[in-house]
């Protein structure tokens, strides 16, 4: 006779398999699927999603859940066992509120809307995408109503990415950050940039771009026996258990940093997943029960803290280029023949308002996020209509960054998130930036040898610290608990602002 | 209130989605998955397979099945509606006999055994693969016992590929074929070959190989908006509805015909799938309920008749090269600078006993199949032990083809089928050869303009005939019914033997 906990694990393991299968189908839809396949894929995703839901919310599992709650009631509430049960209960109670019809409708539209978005982006044709965005907004609002919220529909949706966050809290944090960020940006703008480097007028063969990026990714710890890199319009990372964690990218023949830093970014996500404790595979502590963030890590913002840490705090650091510039030169000997490591460091850290979020510098990046969150809030509460989005986007870009996109491709069509129905996900990027500095500071303070390692291009001590304090725990601790355990503090913008002031103060001689 | 038939269609549609999802996961496992992912993928496949089984065999569906049988009982038994219900009932009664445990065990081992096979093949290490083959034989025998059979366990397993076939019937057909084939082969051998062409000592860039092959595939009718071509160790075709039908291939830098003809072969499979009546999508008439042959076409042998028809009766014909040789030259101008269309035609139709089935000429190919079927029968009835397979293979190769493979990589490790657990599938290849000649003859006889089209490199009339008589019907008619409807005859080896005698008689001046 199996214990209740064993039955619980078996049932959750199967749910895990179903959710991973859904992720494989989504990965395939974005990377490999011929365009004719989108409709069929939508039906397949809808059916799988419905089966996963029914599996989770079945009366059979409800009985198991009751039994296992009784079985673990005297155990240490901090243990993985108890946390598994507790988090499953939370998800169970939340998911029961969402009508099955809504879940399958959302699943079915996703690959179709993503494909229409890609076509619209390629053709700079917002009207082609608009009806699908309308539908996604409608479904997102229905989802918010089903989940329930106190103040703003956004509060319900952000739970799918960053549990415990609200629109009010995001605004509070963003205001604090803006207060520290804008004076710095003004100082930099007043100082002015050196002339645009001519480096990016050269050609960088794509094979060498990919090889160098994977070279660095593997130095960081990305295991290609359990991963792979493909091409997509919008880069992403996805996990089908820690044994199969894939990343994607896209290349620009001239602007080599585009693909390079985005590979490091996705590598950060991948490292988090690949270094989760194997014992958590197929358990409730690596499941995204809500299906919007199919990763084993604890939340979207914490995940983003790791992508930004490896991309920026490591990959765009002076220390990194002191070590890696000769290697870069070996991949592109002609292109960098008359460049120094310092020049490259400056070239990849140029602060300048620009149109594309994923290519923005570390400072203006956050303004892109603030803009998107503001528009998301408006779309969700009805104060912004889909039809007006291109114009509102232009107005806000002028307001936030002082520039206006000449096309919607370079404007409101640049990101896949809303096509995927991922409303509530953008805030994580800036929250992740803030967290990245907190985690990195804590790592360096608690173990000074990490910094010595970085100066030699050795990352295992840093990876070990991150694994011990973040990665290996999967979803066992929510951000609100993980962060103080790892750093001794709750969320605060100070370390991030200090990092930006030190780095860009140095670069711009402030 | 939905009619019983509507409920039936909904339930079958969902089953279809689940089975397509399984196919996507298998395609990914063979083409894209990093090696570390095999174990997780096995669990995912096992869970999905179990869910598909439970979905199909649920008491809920049993009630629907009863109700729909009553609802259609007065309708035309030849209609798609009635056939859907009838075939679903047959599959239902068969699948109920197979324990769920066995189904999931088979699903779980497949990606793992395939991966070990690929490693063993690369390393020429049969012992690495042997335990997995043992296990697959064991599971196949258990499957045969569960399904039931009169004479030989093979009779149960071949139902998964070619319903209605038996070991006895396969042997009878193969004996007839052999009687006609061996004298022809002896005459050819006595005549002897011209010296080995030096063509295949040159280098053929892989990009151009792929481009030319896809060029021809598209001329045949393969729609890349609903398909794609990837690289795998063992080429295959797979369908996730007619809107997404993928093929794979592998390349040899020197032996250009290897990839080319194998692309045409898989294109033949893909055409069958892409030209199924769209109304049959997600119905019982495009489902492989048993999950071994995940295609919408009616049986493995009929499918194979189409891959062999496009590969051989078209692609290796004199007519084809009269039209396509200049195009081939445009892709490889230097390599074929001093070759004529006739010389190429001879070079790609050279009869010579060789080690690798998929590279064999049209005549000896069938001997490779007969050998495999004989070994399959032995493995299944226990008269051949897995440990003895390499030696038995060598002995049989000597007996059938007069040559002995120097390594197991070139011997018993060359095919993926047994690693995938596909016992009973090999006979389809030779049955397909036989059928290909029957179908092709019927097409040419019923519509003489088809032949005129072929001489101009136009395939739409042939494709239309095949669509009307074979493709569009999906699985509506079993081979035993489809064949007489299309050709006026049951299965007979005469047209195939006549085709081989005419073609190779001409080539070898017999």
Measuring CA to CA, which residue among B25, B41, B49, B24 is closest to residue B245?
B24
pLDDT in tens, B349-402: 999 999 999 889 999 999 999 999 999 999 999 999 999 999 999 999 999 999
pLDDT at B45: 94
The residues near B408 (Cβ < 8 Å, ≥ 6 apart) are: B124, B125, B126, B390, B393
The residues near B74 (Cβ < 8 Å, ≥ 6 apart) are: none
| Set of chain A residues whose Cβ sits within 8 Å of the Cβ of B32 | 32, 228, 230
Residues paired with residue B120 on neighbouring β-strands, in sequence order: none
Nearest to B244 among A18, A34, A246 (CB): A34
Active site residues of A: 266
Minimal Cα distance from B281: which residue of A?
A: A40
B120 sits in which H/E element: helix B100-123
Q: At A449, is the secondary structure helix, strand, or coil?
A: helix
A37 to B241: CB separation less than 8 angstroms, yes or no: yes
Taking the Cβ of residue B232 and every Cβ of chain A, the question of whether any pair is shorter than 8 Å is answered with no
Residue B291 pLDDT > 80:
no
Residue B56 pLDDT > 80:
yes
Interface mutation vs chain B, best among A32, A222, A273, A286, most B CBs within 10 Å: A32
pLDDT in tens, B433-469: 999 999 999 999 999 999 999 999 999 999 999 999 9
pLDDT at B143: 96
DSSP annotation of A197 reads: P
B17 to A55: CB separation less than 8 angstroms, yes or no: no
- List, as one string, the DSSP characters of B209-270: HHHHHHHHHHHHT--GGGEEEEE-SS--EEESSTT-EEEEE---SS-HHHHHHHHHHHHHHH
Taking the Cβ of residue A10 and every Cβ of chain B, the question of whether any pair is shorter than 8 Å is answered with no
Measuring CA to CA, which residue among A255, A264, A366, A369 is closest to residue A313?
A264
A225 to B51: CB separation less than 8 angstroms, yes or no: no
Average pLDDT, chain A: 96
Residues 349-368 of chain B with CB under 8 A from chain A are: none
Average pLDDT, chain B: 96
| Set of chain B residues whose Cβ sits within 8 Å of the Cβ of A246 | 34
| Set of chain B residues whose Cβ sits within 8 Å of the Cβ of A244 | 33-34, 36-37, 40-41
Nearest to B244 among A37, A227, A246 (CB): A37
pLDDT in tens, B136-182: 999 999 999 999 999 999 999 999 999 999 999 999 999 999 999 99
Size of interface A-B (CB pairs under 8 A): 116
Mean pLDDT, to the nearest integer, of A292-308? 92
B243 to A39: CB separation less than 8 angstroms, yes or no: yes
B243 to A33: CB separation less than 8 angstroms, yes or no: no
Q: Are B35 and B92 in contact (CB under 8 A)?
A: no
One-letter-per-residue 3-state SS of A360-395: CCCCCHHHHHHHHHHHHHHHHHCCCCHHHHHHHHHH
pLDDT in tens, B416-429: 999 999 999 999 99
pLDDT band at B313 (very low <50, low <70, confident <90, very high): very high
pLDDT in tens, B122-134: 999 999 999 999 9
ipTM over 0.95: no
B241 to A18: CB separation less than 8 angstroms, yes or no: no
pLDDT in tens, A182-211: 999 999 999 999 888 889 999 999 999 999
Q: Give per-residue burial for A185-200: e unless 16+ CB within 10 Å, then b.
A: beebeeeeeeeeeebe
pLDDT at A292: 75
Let me know if A333 is exposed, middle or buried by CB neighbors in 10 A (0-12, 13-18, 19+). Answer: exposed
DSSP annotation of A229 reads: E
| Set of chain A residues whose Cβ sits within 8 Å of the Cβ of B28 | 24, 28
pLDDT in tens, A54-95: 999 999 999 999 999 999 999 999 999 999 999 999 999 999
| Set of chain B residues whose Cβ sits within 8 Å of the Cβ of A18 | 44, 47-48, 51
Residue A293 pLDDT > 80:
no
Measuring CA to CA, which residue among A294, A296, A254, A270 is closest to residue A214?
A270
One-letter-per-residue 3-state SS of B159-198: CCCCCCCCHHHHHHHHHHHHHHHHHHHHHHHHHCCCCCCH
Q: What is the largest CA-CA distance in chain A?
A: 74
Mean pLDDT, to the nearest integer, of A375-398? 97
pLDDT in tens, A348-361: 999 999 999 988 99
pLDDT at B111: 87
pLDDT at A46: 93
Measuring CA to CA, which residue among B334, B302, B326 is closest to residue B215?
B326
């Amino acid at each position: 006779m199996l214990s209740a906990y064993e039955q619980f694990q078996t049932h959750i393991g199967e749910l895990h398999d179903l959710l991973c299968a859904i992720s494989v189908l989504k990965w395939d839809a974005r990377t490999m699927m011929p365009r004719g396949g989108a409709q069929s894929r939508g039906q397949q995703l809808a059916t799988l999603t419905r089966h996963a839901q029914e599996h989770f919310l079945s009366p059979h599992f409800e009985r198991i859940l009751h039994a296992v709650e009784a079985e673990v009631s005297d155990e240490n509430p901090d243990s993985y066992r108890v946390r598994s049960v507790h988090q499953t209960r939370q998800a169970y109670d939340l998911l029961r509120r969402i009508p099955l019809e809504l879940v399958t409708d959302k699943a079915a539209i996703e690959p179709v809307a993503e494909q229409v978005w890609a076509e619209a982006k390629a053709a700079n044709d917002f009207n082609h995408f608009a009806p699908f965005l309308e539908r996604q907004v409608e479904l997102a609002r229905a989802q918010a109503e089903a989940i329930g919220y106190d103040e703003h529909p956004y509060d319900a949706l952000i739970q799918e990415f960053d549990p415990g966050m609200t629109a009010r809290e995001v605004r509070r944090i963003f205001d604090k950050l803006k207060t520290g960020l804008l004076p710095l940006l003004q100082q930099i703008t007043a100082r002015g940039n050196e002339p645009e480097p001519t480096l990016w007028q050269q050609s960088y063969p794509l094979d060498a771009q990919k090889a160098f990026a994977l070279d660095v990714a593997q130095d960081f710890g990305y295991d290609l026996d359990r991963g792979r890199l493909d091409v997509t319009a919008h880069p992403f990372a996805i996990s089908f258990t820690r044994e199969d964690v894939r990343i994607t990218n896209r290349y620009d023949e001239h602007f080599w940093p585009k693909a390079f830093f985005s590979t490091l970014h996705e590598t950060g996500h991948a490292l988090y997943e690949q270094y989760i404790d194997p014992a958590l595979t197929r358990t409730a502590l690596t499941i995204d029960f809500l299906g919007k963030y199919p990763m084993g890590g604890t939340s979207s913002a914490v995940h983003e803290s790791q992508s930004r840490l490896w991309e920026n705090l490591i990959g765009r650091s002076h220390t990194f280029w002191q070590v890696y510039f000769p290697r870069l030169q070996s991949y592109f000997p002609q292109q960098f023949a008359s460049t120094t490591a310092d020049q490259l460091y400056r070239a990849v850290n140029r602060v300048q308002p620009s149109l594309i979020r994923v290519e923005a510098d570390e400072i203006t990046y956050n303004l892109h996020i603030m803009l998107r969150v503001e528009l998301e809030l408006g779309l969700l509460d009805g104060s912004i209509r889909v039809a007006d989005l291109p114009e509102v986007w232009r107005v806000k870009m002028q307001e936030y960054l002082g520039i206006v996109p000449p096309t919607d491709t370079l404007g409101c069509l640049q990101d896949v998130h809303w096509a995927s129905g991922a409303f509530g996900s953008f805030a994580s990027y800036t929250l992740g930036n803030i967290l990245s500095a907190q985690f990195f500071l804590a790592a360096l303070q608690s173990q000074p040898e990490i910094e010595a390692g970085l100066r030699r291009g050795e990352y295992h001590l840093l990876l070990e610290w991150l694994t011990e304090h973040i990665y290996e725990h999967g979803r066992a601790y929510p951000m609100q608990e993980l962060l103080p355990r790892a750093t001794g503090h709750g969320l605060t913008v100070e370390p991030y602002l200090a990092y930006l002031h030190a780095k860009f103060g140095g670069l711009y001689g402030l």
